């Protein structure tokens, strides 16, 4: 072994070691927000943060099915009791009136600061008379019993108004004292975790705690089933799915490729050596992503699985294409390495475009692919030849190669057929052009349809609004955003009365701005005035003014009451609403006002925007979360398409440097044909293209370029050394049988690697699989069919 050989091996071993150390410290994630775009505006940033860390992300909806209603109720109560003591949970609601007393105390003691009725006219003689008359009517009703005790203190019905406001939202029905679905078949609980939804470990702990509480409580109640859903639950199950899928698919494709290689090589040494570049490439890919992004995504690892099939190609070329004997690797390096190097370069140019993507997830894939391929090719070129034992030999593939050679010569006969297929593909694409791309961001979600349905069911049972429409008010301090929220609320209330909205929520209901509270305080008349007015107001009513002495005292107290602060809400169920809707971030305040669409209708976004603009309030934004995120995604999809086209241009440019223009056309044409045919095939099967299909197409071009380069006749026109002169002459018009055999095996391994991904349940991985596997085969076929023939 030569000296520089030893040096190369040593260097390689050291790099492997370093890679190992870096990887052992690498963080792996499955948080799919990396496949959400890096958002360009602060509002969109806020939205994405809401999706990741906001209150909605911290909710876990729990359902208990099976057994009978009393059992479900008992389970619900036991689970809730146990989890209320668990610090992982901020709140656990199951319909039991645990906060009822605190809520009532809070509302009652702050009723004059909270009630929107409190304006100066509210305490005029006429208004008092009307309010008293109403209250007396209420006493006559069955509910009168509930307000009887309050009448002397609250004759104007502020408490009734506040409670009405609170219970206006749809709430789940109660069965046996706990929340239940409308059909009564499920008990429901709503939990809020302390950790944000993007803290998947914490979400997993919370899920385990819920499961443990259920198991601990269920004991004797066989037949009861626990269901969980919510963003955090989705993250946890996605992670599990991705983990399971990636490790299973990696295992299967490694076994598959190994079997294939063993069949070809008939040598374990060759198999083991052949995997060295693959392993090195995987390690290098992980290290590059880890250092470039700080974390490595599970999807990137899954993608890496598929890249095994691609990086194993280099060693296949080396083993199959080299002659037997000690010096043959040197020959291979001289004859074939330039072609492979060009192939690697085109792949790198193709993937480089992904690095510029606004999706961190895509950029990761690009970086992984580039560094992995470089590492694999480098090891194949500089390390592997020195590791081959002198007696190294693999099964002779000349026979297969010769058969392939004669097939290749006859492949030209298929040209017309291929042209027809291509024409049909083009026709399909033209026909489907409007629906080729999937612009919905949900298409990237790894969550299964069944899980989405369960989520939708539990949500509708719970009466939880889908936070699709929001008005976002932002500002520099709490007071200003609350004031703006109050003004927006006034406008929204008009929309509710006009039927444009079913309702809306605002934190200013429970925590009015200080200005509003002061105005309400100022509306309260002094004792002497109120007493005089009250004496007049009771005339004609069956009550005596003396009865309302406690009312006078309460109003007087409210005039001097300290204003309501956020801390006063603690331990009430209103605190959760305020926490969720009033957000402070980096000294910046925002209020979210979720809107509920009218039953069976949609919110007219244009109308709402006009109405809100008319308020002349700065920093008020109407947001349709779904449209917004789809639009964002759509924008990035366009960006990715442009980047891919850029990548294509880069590949062509690169080839033009090394090859004649006609030759470049011959290399590019089969790749373009393969891409068109695959896209048409996907359209035909109803698969709309996502950003990951696009990555797949890029891979088809990258991998396919290797085949096209090898099949391109010009490679063999110039013999690169004395030893091969005779062979080069013999093969001046077509690739050698060995080259052909190596290409077929290389494409088989690629198909095996990516083909496995087609069976993934994770849509992102599946998209890659169904694009690359057929695409690679097609690229090889088209390259063979359209390769220049000896007689041309």
Site for other proteins, rule CB under 8 A? 95, 97, 100, 136-146, 148, 151-152, 163-164, 167-168, 171, 173-177, 542-544, 547
Instruction: State the nearest-atom distance from the C-beta of 173 to other proteins, in Å.
Output: 6
Q: Shortest CA distance to 329 belongs to which of 277, 392, 253?
A: 392
- Residue 623 has φ and ψ, to the nearest 5°, of -125, 130
Give whichever of 80 and 757 is closer to other proteins, judged by the CB atom.
Answer: 80
- Cβ(749)–Cβ(316) under 8 Å? yes
Give whichever of 173 and 211 is closer to other proteins, judged by the CB atom.
Answer: 173
Give whichever of 146 and 605 is closer to other proteins, judged by the CB atom.
Answer: 146
Give whichever of 21 and 143 is closer to other proteins, judged by the CB atom.
Answer: 143
Instruction: State the nearest-atom distance from the C-beta of 171 to other proteins, in Å.
Output: 6
Instruction: State the nearest-atom distance from the C-beta of 444 to other proteins, in Å.
Output: 39
Give whichever of 155 and 230 is closer to other proteins, judged by the CB atom.
Answer: 155
Instruction: State the nearest-atom distance from the C-beta of 94 to other proteins, in Å.
Output: 12
Give whichever of 152 and 719 is closer to other proteins, judged by the CB atom.
Answer: 152
Instruction: State the nearest-atom distance from the C-beta of 167 to other proteins, in Å.
Output: 6
Q: At what angle do helices 268-293 and 360-378 cross, to 10 degrees?
A: 140
- Residue length, the chain? 792
Q: How many helices (H) and strands (E) in the chain?
A: 31, 13
Give whichever of 153 and 659 is closer to other proteins, judged by the CB atom.
Answer: 153
Instruction: State the nearest-atom distance from the C-beta of 678 to other proteins, in Å.
Output: 56
Q: Shortest CA distance to 320 belongs to which of 747, 671, 775, 5?
A: 747
Structure tokens at 739: 């080259």
Give whichever of 177 and 719 is closer to other proteins, judged by the CB atom.
Answer: 177
Q: 153: how many CB neighbours lie within 10 A of its CB?
A: 18
Give whichever of 100 and 732 is closer to other proteins, judged by the CB atom.
Answer: 100
Work out whether the CA dihedral 70, 74, 75, 77 comes out positive or negative.
positive
Instruction: State the nearest-atom distance from the C-beta of 573 to other proteins, in Å.
Output: 13
Instruction: State the nearest-atom distance from the C-beta of 610 to other proteins, in Å.
Output: 28
Q: Could you give the CA distance from residue 649 to residue 638 in angstroms, rounded to a whole number?
A: 16
Instruction: State the nearest-atom distance from the C-beta of 57 to other proteins, in Å.
Output: 28
Question: What's the longest Cα–Cα distance across the chain?
Answer: 123
Q: Shortest CA distance to 281 belongs to which of 257, 312, 253?
A: 312
Structure tokens at 190: 């709503």
- Cβ(352)–Cβ(366) under 8 Å? yes
Give whichever of 148 and 584 is closer to other proteins, judged by the CB atom.
Answer: 148
Q: Could you give the CA distance from residue 71 to residue 78 in angstroms, rounded to a whole number?
A: 10
What are the start-end ranges of the E strands in 269-336?
295-297
Instruction: State the nearest-atom distance from the C-beta of 185 to other proteins, in Å.
Output: 15
End-to-end CA distance of the chain: 45
Give whichever of 163 and 414 is closer to other proteins, judged by the CB atom.
Answer: 163
- Cβ(576)–Cβ(90) under 8 Å? yes
Q: Could you give the CA distance from residue 215 to residue 208 in angstroms, rounded to a whole number?
A: 10
Q: Could you give the CA distance from residue 755 to residue 309 in angstroms, rounded to a whole number?
A: 10
Q: What is the 3-state secondary structure (H, E, C) of 687-712?
A: CCECHHHHHHHHHHHHHHHHHHHHHC
Give whichever of 168 and 259 is closer to other proteins, judged by the CB atom.
Answer: 168
Instruction: State the nearest-atom distance from the C-beta of 544 to other proteins, in Å.
Output: 7
Instruction: State the nearest-atom distance from the C-beta of 504 to other proteins, in Å.
Output: 16
Give whichever of 497 and 722 is closer to other proteins, judged by the CB atom.
Answer: 497
The secondary structure of 211-272 as a DSSP string is HHHHHHHHTT-TT-EEEEESHHHHHHHHHHHHHHHHHHHHHHHHHHHHHHHHHHH--HHHHH
Give whichever of 147 and 770 is closer to other proteins, judged by the CB atom.
Answer: 147
Instruction: State the nearest-atom distance from the C-beta of 166 to other proteins, in Å.
Output: 10
Instruction: Please report, for residues 84, 320, 330, 384, the alpha-carbon distance to residue 388 in angstroms, rounded to integers and kept in the order given.
Output: 65, 13, 12, 6
Q: Could you give the CA distance from residue 342 to residue 156 in angstroms, rounded to a whole number?
A: 85
Structure tokens at 324: 């037997």
Q: How far, rounded to the nearest angstrom, does the alpha carbon of residue 27 sit from its chain's CA centroid? A: 18
Q: How far, rounded to the nearest angstrom, does the alpha carbon of residue 666 sit from its chain's CA centroid? A: 40
What are the start-end ranges of the E strands in 66-169?
89-93
Instruction: State the nearest-atom distance from the C-beta of 447 to other proteins, in Å.
Output: 32
């Amino acid at each position: 072994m030569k000296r520089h050989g030893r040096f190369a091996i040593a260097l390689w071993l050291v790099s492997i070691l370093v890679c190992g150390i870096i990887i052992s410290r690498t963080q792996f994630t499955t948080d799919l927000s990396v496949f959400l775009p890096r958002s360009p505006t602060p509002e969109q940033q806020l939205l994405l943060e809401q999706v990741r860390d906001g209150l909605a992300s911290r909710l876990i909806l729990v359902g208990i099915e099976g057994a009978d209603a009393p059992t479900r109720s008992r389970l619900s109560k036991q689970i809730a009791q146990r989890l209320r003591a668990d610090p992982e949970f901020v709140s656990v609601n199951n319909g039991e009136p645990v906060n009822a007393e605190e809520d009532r105390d809070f509302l009652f003691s702050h009723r004059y600061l909270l009630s929107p009725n409190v304006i100066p006219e509210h305490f005029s003689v006429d208004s008092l008379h009307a309010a008293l008359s109403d209250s007396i009517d209420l006493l006559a009703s069955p509910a009168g019993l509930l307000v009887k005790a309050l009448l002397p203190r609250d004759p104007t019905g502020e408490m009734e108004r506040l409670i009405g406001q609170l219970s206006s939202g749809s709430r789940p029905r109660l069965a046996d004292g706990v929340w239940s679905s409308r059909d009564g078949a499920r008990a429901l609980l709503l939990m809020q975790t302390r950790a944000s939804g993007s803290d998947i470990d914490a979400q997993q702990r919370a899920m385990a705690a819920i499961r443990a509480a259920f198991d601990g409580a269920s004991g004797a109640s066989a037949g009861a089933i626990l269901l969980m859903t919510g963003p955090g639950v989705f993250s946890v199950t996605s992670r599990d799915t991705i983990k399971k899928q990636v490790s299973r698919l990696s295992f299967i494709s490694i076994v598959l490729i190994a079997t294939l290689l063993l069949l070809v090589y008939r040598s374990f040494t060759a198999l083991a050596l052949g995997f060295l570049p693959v392993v090195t490439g995987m390690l290098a890919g992980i290290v590059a992503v880890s250092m470039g992004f700080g974390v490595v995504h599970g999807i990137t690892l899954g993608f890496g699985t598929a890249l095994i099939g691609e990086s194993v190609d280099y060693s296949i070329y080396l083993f199959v294409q080299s002659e037997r004997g000690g010096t043959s690797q040197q020959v291979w390096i001289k004859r074939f390495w330039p072609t492979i190097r060009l192939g690697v370069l085109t792949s790198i140019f193709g993937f480089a475009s992904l690095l510029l993507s606004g999706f961190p997830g895509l950029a990761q894939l690009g970086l992984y692919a580039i560094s992995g391929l470089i590492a694999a090719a480098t090891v194949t070129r500089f390390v592997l030849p020195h590791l081959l034992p002198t007696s190294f030999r693999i099964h002779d593939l000349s026979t297969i190669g010769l058969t392939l050679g004669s097939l290749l010569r006859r492949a030209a006969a298929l040209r017309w057929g291929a042209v027809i297929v291509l024409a049909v593909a083009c026709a399909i694409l033209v026909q489907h052009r409007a629906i080729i791309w999937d612009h919905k961001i949900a298409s990237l979600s790894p969550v299964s349809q069944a899980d989405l349905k369960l989520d939708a069911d539990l949500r509708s049972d719970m009466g939880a609004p889908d936070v699709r429409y929001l008005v976002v008010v932002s500002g520099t301090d709490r007071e200003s955003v609350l004031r703006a929220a109050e003004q927006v609320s006034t406008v929204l209330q008009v929309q509710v009365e006009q039927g444009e909205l079913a309702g809306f929520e605002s934190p200013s209901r429970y925590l009015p701005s200080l200005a509003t509270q002061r105005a309400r305080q100022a509306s309260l008349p002094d004792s002497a005035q109120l007493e005089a007015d009250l004496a007049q107001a009771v005339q004609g009513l069956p009550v005596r003014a003396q009865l309302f002495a406690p009312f006078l005292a309460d109003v007087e107290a409210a005039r001097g009451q300290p204003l309501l602060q956020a801390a006063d809400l603690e331990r009430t169920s209103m605190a959760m609403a305020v926490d969720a809707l009033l957000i402070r971030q980096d000294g910046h305040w925002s209020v979210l006002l979720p809107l509920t669409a009218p039953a069976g209708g949609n919110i007219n976004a244009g109308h709402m925007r006009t109405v809100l603009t008319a308020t002349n309030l700065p920093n008020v934004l109407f947001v349709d979360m779904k449209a917004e995120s789809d639009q964002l995604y759509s924008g990035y999809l366009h960006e990715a398409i442009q980047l891919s086209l850029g990548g294509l241009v880069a590949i062509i440019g690169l080839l033009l440097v090394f090859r004649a223009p006609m030759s470049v056309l011959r290399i590019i044409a089969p790749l373009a044909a393969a891409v068109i045919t695959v896209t048409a095939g996907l359209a035909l099967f109803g698969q709309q293209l996502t950003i990951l299909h696009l990555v797949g197409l890029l891979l088809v071009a990258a991998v396919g370029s290797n085949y096209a380069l090898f099949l391109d006749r010009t490679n063999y026109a110039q013999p690169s050394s004395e030893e091969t002169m005779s062979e080069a002459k013999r093969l001046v018009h077509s690739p050698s049988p060995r080259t052909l055999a190596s290409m077929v095996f290389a494409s088989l391994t690629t198909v095996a690697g990516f083909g496995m991904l087609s069976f993934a349940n994770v849509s992102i991985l599946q998209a890659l699989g169904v694009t690359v596997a057929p695409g690679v085969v097609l690229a090889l076929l088209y390259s063979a069919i359209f390769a220049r023939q000896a007689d041309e």
